[in-house]
Amino acid sequence: MGPVFDTVFNERLAELLAWRRDVRRFRTDPVPPGLLDRLFDVVQLSPSVGNSQPWRWAAVDDPARRQAVCANFQRCNDVALHEQADERQAAYAALKLEGLRTAPAQFAIFCDVETEQGHGLGRATMPETLAYSTVLAIAAFWLAARARGLGVGWVSILDPAAINAIVDVDPAWRFIAYLCVGWPEEEHIDPELARHGWQRRTDAGRTILQR
C-alpha cells in the first residue's frame, strides 16, 4: 500500500504550484551541489515515453560558455523585439527575460532523439513524445527546486544550433531548454509578465469540451 496524501498535503501542493514562478532575478550565492543532486534524483522519477528517459542535462559553468550564451540571447532578443508590433516594442524592451548574468547555476537541457532506451515504444507515430518527456523532467525539477526555495528561470530566446555548439554536445541531442537556477531575490504569487502588464493569466484552456 502506497502513501496516503492527506488534505494538508494537497493544500501544500496547491500552494507550491501557485508559488512556482519563472525567476529572472537571482542572488549570486551558490547552490550547494548536494541540493542539486537531490533535485536530479527527483528528475529521474519523471514519466517518459517507453521509459526512455531521454533528458540530458549539461551544467554550464565555464565563464566563456556563459558569455557566449548571453551574447546569443542578446542577438535573438533583438530580433524578437523587432518582430513585435510597433505599439508593443517599448513594453517588450522593458521586460527582463533572463537571469543569465546572475544565476549561480545554469543548465542546458537536451533530448537524446536517438536513444535506444525504451526500444522505440510509444514514439513511432509521435517522435515528439521524446521532447515532451524531457519537458516533464524539467517541470519536475522546477517544482522540486521551488519546494526547496530555489528559483528557476526558463530561457528560450536562444538559437538551438548555437547552444548545441556552445555547450558542445552530441549532435543527436536536441536543445530543449536553458535554465537559470538560484536563490530568488524576491517572491511573488503572480507571474512577472502579468505584473508588468504584458500578459495576464486567462481561462484559455479551462473549458473542458464534452464529446
To the nearest whole angstrom, how small is the minimum distance from the Cβ of residue 21 to ligand FMN? 4
Restricted to residues 164-193, the positions that interact with ligand FMN (CB under 6 A) are 191, 193
> Rounded to whole angstroms, how far apart are CA atoms 167 and 175?
10
Q: Which is nearer to ligand FMN, 43 or 118 (CB)?
A: 43
Nearer CB in complex with ligand FMN: 98/112: 98
Which residue's C-alpha cell is 502579468? 194
Burial grade of 40 (CB within 10 A; 0-12, 13-18, 19 or more) = middle
Site for ligand FMN (CB under 6 A): which residue of 35, 42, 68, 157? 157
Rounded to an integer, what distance in angstroms lies between the CA atom of residue 65 and that of residue 57? 15
How far apart are alpha carbons 146 and 140 in whole angstroms?
Answer: 10
By the rule CB under 6 A, 156 interacts with ligand FMN: yes
CB of 135 to ligand FMN, least distance (A): 7
Closest residue to ligand FMN using C-beta atoms = 191
What ranges in the chain are assigned the alpha helix state H? 7-19, 33-43, 63-83, 89-94, 129-147, 160-167, 192-195
**143 is a contact residue toward ligand FMN (CB under 6 A):** no
- With contacts defined by CB under 6 A, name the span among 16-24, 40-48, 102-110, 166-174 that binds ligand FMN: 16-24
Site residues (vs ligand FMN, CB under 6 A): 21-22, 24, 97-98, 154-157, 191, 193
